[in-house]
Amino acid sequence: MIQLNNLEEHPSHPYRWVNRFFPPRLDWIQVEISSLCDASCIYCPHTALRSVWRQGLMSRKTFFTLSNIFQYTRHVHLQGWGEPFLHPHFFDFVQATRDTGCIVGTTTSGQAVTVDMAERLVDEGPDVVAFSVAGCSELSDRYRRGTSFTKTLRAMETIANLKEKSRRTTPKIHVAYMLLMSALDEVERIIPLFGNMGVQEVIISTLNFVIDPKLREESFLYCDAAKQRKAVEILQESAVPSGAATDIVISVNFPPFHQSERCLENAARSIFISHDGYVHPCVYLGIPLVGPTNGSTPSVLNFGNIETSSFPGLWRHKNYRRWRRSLRKGKPPMTCTRCGRFISPTQNRPALFSF
Ligand code: SF4
């Protein structure tokens, strides 16, 4: 069988010339260096689908193969459906990514951050570390089982102090805040709590992907209209600093606060790479499951593996181009119709879905 990558390597293949003058351009690349996680957040597919989870750490070989494609972007985010700090080569991967000239970010629960590790984070990068929480108090631990909010805060404080001491500006400290409707009141404490902790940005998300129907009411997108109105009020008030001098930026990354054409994950100009090298359009279509999916498991879509095919060839393959075109035109591929990140062009809001 002739492989696409073999064809592309051939000197007469038109892709060679197309790629030289018109290389792929991506806004970011997200890399799942670990699908292992030691937490059991109640809303995470890793918890609900544990029995069919494809557990793994990205090998050095896979990482260094894929780092060749960082030339097509400026931003690399080292995080997928697992905890990146569980990877023993985390700092090697950060260094290798920085060597390509890209800005490197990661998202963590912060549970593994010791003082030694915090020192390395300040000395060696990455440029941005986002800490995941689901509230502004120990209430977060009820949703993020197996994590300690106190430990997360301590990790942020340690890094902020070390940065100040060494007069470093990086890593920037972000908070990846999961808004659950039963913890809506916690939003009011975001600025008082994080405003003086060296946090530069808080990104508030909601449950886009409701893996357990029992959690539908926890999502801003799928809860009832009265709750949604109340949430909009609280978010509007809380996103405006109330007198306190703070430079903290609050971003709410779901509609009506965040509007964008079609896919809010920008899947037509970004990719997600699983720990074993598969290229997916987004993180929601790259849940690492063992075996084929069925009606009761989420859809998975990949366009090939970075270890066996060249990336420009995968990116320009007619199936992938066709898929991106239909996404851009607002005629969602079947795989997107149930996604909370897809804005329906007729309704101007995400299409509802349930499992
Ligand atoms: S709309 Fe499609 S591409 Fe975009 S995030 Fe959802 S599943 Fe992914």
Give nearest CA residue, ligand 1 atom 3.
267
User: What distance in angstroms lies between residue 336's CA and the mean position of ligand 1's atoms?
Assistant: 5
Query: pTM for the complete prediction?
Result: 0.91
Please give the pLDDT value at position 21.
73
What is the rounded CA–CA span in Å between residue 50 and residue 53? 5
Residue 195's φ and ψ, nearest 5 degrees, are: -60, -25
Contact between 212 and 166 under an 8 Å Cβ cutoff? The reply is no
Q: Identity (one letter) of the amino acid at 354?
A: S
User: What distance in angstroms lies between residue 260's CA and the mean position of ligand 1's atoms?
Assistant: 13
Q: Is 85 in the pocket of ligand 1 (CB under 6 A)?
A: no
Q: What is the pLDDT along the chain (355 residues), one digit of tens a residue?
A: 334 444 555 556 666 667 777 789 999 999 999 999 999 999 999 999 999 999 999 999 999 999 999 999 999 999 999 999 999 999 999 999 999 999 999 999 999 999 999 999 999 989 999 999 999 999 999 999 999 999 999 999 999 999 999 999 999 999 999 999 999 999 999 999 998 899 999 999 999 888 888 899 999 988 988 999 999 999 988 765 544 556 789 999 888 887 776 899 999 999 999 999 999 999 999 999 997 666 667 889 999 999 999 999 999 999 999 999 999 888 878 888 778 888 876 655 555 433 2
Residue 347's φ and ψ, nearest 5 degrees, are: -95, -15
Q: Is 8 in the pocket of ligand 1 (CB under 6 A)?
A: no
Residue 175's H or E segment, with its range, is strand 172-178
Q: Is 339 in the pocket of ligand 1 (CB under 6 A)?
A: yes
- Residue 218 corresponds to which tokens in the numbers above? 């926890």
Probe residue for ligand 1, chosen from 339, 349, 352, 353 as the CB with the greatest number of ligand atoms within 8 Å? 339
Please give the pLDDT value at position 4.
44
- Residue 185 corresponds to which tokens in the numbers above? 């009141």
- Residue 23 corresponds to which tokens in the numbers above? 């290389």
- Residue 269 corresponds to which tokens in the numbers above? 């100009």
Contact between 312 and 19 under an 8 Å Cβ cutoff? The reply is yes
Nearest atom in ligand 1 to the alpha carbon of residue 299 is 7
Please give the pLDDT value at position 8.
55
User: What distance in angstroms lies between residue 338's CA and the mean position of ligand 1's atoms?
Assistant: 9
Q: Is 127 in the pocket of ligand 1 (CB under 6 A)?
A: no
In sequence order, what E strands does 67-102 have?
75-78
Q: Is 301 in the pocket of ligand 1 (CB under 6 A)?
A: no
**CA distances in angstroms from 66 to 50, 58, 211, 279, 305, listed in the order given:** 27, 11, 30, 10, 10
Q: Is 285 in the pocket of ligand 1 (CB under 6 A)?
A: yes
Nearest atom in ligand 1 to the alpha carbon of residue 336 is 2
Place of tokens 């940065």: 163
Torsion angle of the four alpha carbons 315, 319, 322, 326, in this order, in degrees rounded to the nearest 10: -100
User: What distance in angstroms lies between residue 335's CA and the mean position of ligand 1's atoms?
Assistant: 8
What is the rounded CA–CA span in Å between residue 153 and residue 135? 12
Please give the pLDDT value at position 129.
98
Q: Is 282 in the pocket of ligand 1 (CB under 6 A)?
A: yes
- Residue 77 corresponds to which tokens in the numbers above? 């985010």
Please give the pLDDT value at position 1.
35
User: What distance in angstroms lies between residue 274's CA and the mean position of ligand 1's atoms?
Assistant: 16
Contact between 137 and 143 under an 8 Å Cβ cutoff? The reply is no
What is the rounded CA–CA span in Å between residue 186 and residue 48? 25
Cβ-based neighbours of 76, under 8 Å, separated by 6 or more:
28, 29, 30, 31, 70, 97, 100, 102, 103, 104, 105
Give nearest CA residue, ligand 1 atom 1.
342
Q: Is 265 in the pocket of ligand 1 (CB under 6 A)?
A: yes
Number of Cβ atoms within 10 Å of the Cβ of 314: 23
Please give the pLDDT value at position 2.
37
- Residue 140 corresponds to which tokens in the numbers above? 């977060």
